[in-house]
Amino acid sequence: KKILTIAGTRPQLVKIAAVSRVLRQSFEEVLVNTGQHYDYNMAGVFFDELNIPKPDYDLGIGSDSHGRQTGKMLIAVEEVVEKEQPDVILVYGDTNSTLAGATVASKLHIPIVHIEAGLRSYNKKMPEEINRILTDHVSTLLFAPTDVAVSNLENEGINNGVYQVGDVMYDAVQFNMELAEQKYKLSYFGLEHKSFVLGTIHRADNTDNKDRLEAILRAFASIEEEVYLPLHPRTKSKIEQYGFEPILEQARNITVVAPISYLEMLLLEKHAKAIVTDSGGVQKEAYFAKVPCVTLRDQTEWVETIDSGWNQLVNPLKVDLGTILSNLTDGKPIEGLYGDGKSAREIVSIMHDYFK
Ligand code: UD1
């Protein structure tokens, strides 16, 4: 059977790396890269470092408004699908690339497999939330990473084809942590074990709101700990647009760098004193690394990380990061919360039985 995988952003490449190596043992896979992320440090480095197979199609769509970006993807993906005639279309997560793949497949009556199904933040202003809901409602097989994701789907009347398989991002961490430690040393980054805060900010909610972005930068600048801040291109351009560079330049404790690779990120997560983020994936990686996480958002779709005590939601407009950091406590890991690191194998085995 032929599986057509559609992806195009940094977090999807991490998941593909975990799944493709197993998938290709049982299926023929055609890989389509939409090009939603296109800078070398947002995409190319992930292909190289994680040994992801070279895409069969590079659509080169790049950045645009949501409508135009998704629309261009629809046109280009449909052409590929008509040419390749796949038996199944595989999509990951919640990006515009996910939605485009799912939409094309549903119109052409091709079964859709959605990995990371059922997540909800219950905030429909997030583009990702719309992408998740729409994709789940047209999917044939829905691979949910947690029990909460399964019950979110049940609440929307989706009961068929739902499997709780754990999280492929946990597979990715298990596979790559040792490689990260072999390849990089903390001293390369000029950092010391448990003495720094690792920050990542890129959600439109935070970056495209001047007050929130300013509050976040000032919060980083206000603390004693060193802050290591790999800056997403969206965030960088908003900082320039709003003229916030002086906040970063005047802060002695902040090191701004370009986006770093996955292996570098894993290493820094492990050694951080705390992680401050608005990313979904990074919240979970903090949990896997047993590092306290402060999530600068009003909701999260990864509610288990909060329940376990390793993560807390903080409104960026009200954040007192210094007080939060001086009161950090460890959470309690919950056995098997995100699976056993063998999610990809389970997914492929279910797909094998279903599509044989
Ligand atoms: C996307 C996903 C989000 C995911 C995130 C991970 C959607 C709606 N959002 O958001 O779910 O968590 O990726 O990073 O699909 N840019 C570059 N170079 C790049 C990529 C982006 O300069 O390689 C800039 C562009 O100015 C662009 C902006 O970043 O306008 C935002 O890019 P976009 O494709 O909208 O996605 P993300 O914000 O990264």
Instruction: Indicate which atom in ligand 1 lies nearest the CA of residue 97.
Output: 15
Tokens 């992320």 — which residue? 37
Cβ-based neighbour number of residue 146 at 10 Å: 21
Encoded tokens for 47: 């292909």
Q: Is there a contact between 165 and 143 (Cβ–Cβ < 8 Å)?
A: yes
**Residue-level pLDDT at 333:** 80
Buried (b) or exposed (e) across 54-88, using 16+ Cβ within 10 A? ebebebebeeeeeeebbebbbebbbebbeeeebeb
* Token pair in block for residue 256: 């701004």
Say whether 310 sits in a helix, a strand or coil.
Answer: coil
Three-class DSSP category at 274: strand
At 338, list the tokens: 């995100």
Give the atom of ligand 1 at the shortest distance from the alpha carbon of 39: 23
Q: Cα of 73 to ligand 1 centre, how many Å?
A: 14
Residue with CA closest to ligand 1 atom 18: 39
What is the C-alpha to C-alpha distance for residues 114 and 148, in angstroms, rounded to an integer?
16
Residue 58, C-beta contacts closer than 8 angstroms, at least 6 positions apart: 33, 35
Q: Is 202 known to be catalytic? A: yes
Least Cα distance to 209 among 149, 145, 292, 126 occurs for 126
Q: What is the ipTM of this complex?
A: 0.90
pLDDT given for residue 30 in this prediction: 98
Distance 254 CA to ligand 1 centre (A): 23
SS3 content of the chain, % helix, strand, coil (to 5): 50, 15, 35
At 56 the pLDDT is 98
The residue contributing the CA closest to ligand 1 atom 22 is 233
Cβ burial 150-179 (10 Å sphere, 16+ → b, else e): bebbeeeebeebbbbbbbbbbbbbbebbee
Per-residue confidence (pLDDT) for residue 356, from 0 to 100: 87
Beta strands in the chain (DSSP E): 2-7, 28-33, 57-58, 88-92, 112-115, 141-144, 162-164, 196-200, 226-230, 254-257, 274-277, 293-295, 311-313
* Residues in contact with ligand 1 (CB, 6 Å cut-off): 9-11, 36-39, 42, 63, 94-96, 127-128, 202, 233-234, 237
Distance CA 161, CA 218 (A): 46
Per-residue pLDDT of the chain (356 residues; tens, 9 = 90+): 999 999 999 999 999 999 999 999 999 999 999 999 999 999 999 999 999 999 999 999 999 999 999 999 999 999 999 999 999 999 999 999 999 999 999 999 999 999 999 999 999 999 999 999 999 999 999 999 999 999 999 999 999 999 999 999 999 999 999 999 999 999 999 999 999 999 999 999 999 999 999 999 999 999 999 999 999 999 999 999 999 999 999 999 999 999 999 999 999 999 999 999 999 999 999 999 999 999 999 999 999 999 999 999 999 999 999 999 999 999 998 889 999 999 999 999 999 999 98
| Residue 312 burial (C-beta neighbours within 10 Å; 0-12, 13-18, 19+) | middle
Edge-to-edge strand ranges of the sheet holding 226-230: 254-257, 226-230, 196-200, 274-277, 293-295, 311-313
Nearest to 261 by CA among 43, 21, 12: 43
User: Residue 279 carries which DSSP code?
Assistant: -
Closest by Cα among 39, 53, 65 to 5 = 53
